[in-house]
Amino acid sequence: MHFCPKCRSIMIPSGSVLRCRKCGFEQEKPQDGTMVFTSRMQARDITVLEEQEEAGLPTTKAHCPECGNDTAYWWLRQLRSADESETRFFRCTKCGYTWREYD
C-alpha cells in the first residue's frame, strides 16, 4: 500500500501510475516487485427522505393532545447521559404536533 507524500491519503492504481484521489498527486508505480491489489465495490441505491421526514418512521397508537388523533410517528433520542433511559418522541400523523413521553 502506498500513501500520497503530500496529503497522506492512499494512492490508487490508475494505468501505469498511482494517483491520489484526494489531491490528484501522481507517481509511477514502484518497480520493486510490490504487488498491488484492487477491488471494486458495487454501487447501492440509497433512499433519501427530504420532504417527508416522517415517511420512514414507525407509527403507534398515541393520543394527540392538540387534535385528538390516535396515530403518531415515534422515535427515540438519548438526551441525557448514557446511564439514563432514552426519551420517546411522538409526532401526530394528522396535525404534525410533536410531544415527548415522560416516565
Distance CA 4, CA 18 (A): 9
Within 13 Å, how many C-alpha atoms sit on residue 40's CB side? 2
Q: Which one-letter DSSP state was computed for residue 22?
A: T
> Is 66 annotated as catalytic?
no
CB 10 within 8 A of CB 23: no
- Of the candidates 45, 50, 83, 103, the residue annotated as catalytic is 83
CB 6 within 8 A of CB 15: no
- Of the candidates 32, 51, 84, 103, the residue annotated as catalytic is 84
Q: Grid coordinates representing 67?
A: 387534535
> Is 83 annotated as catalytic?
yes
Catalytic positions are 83-84
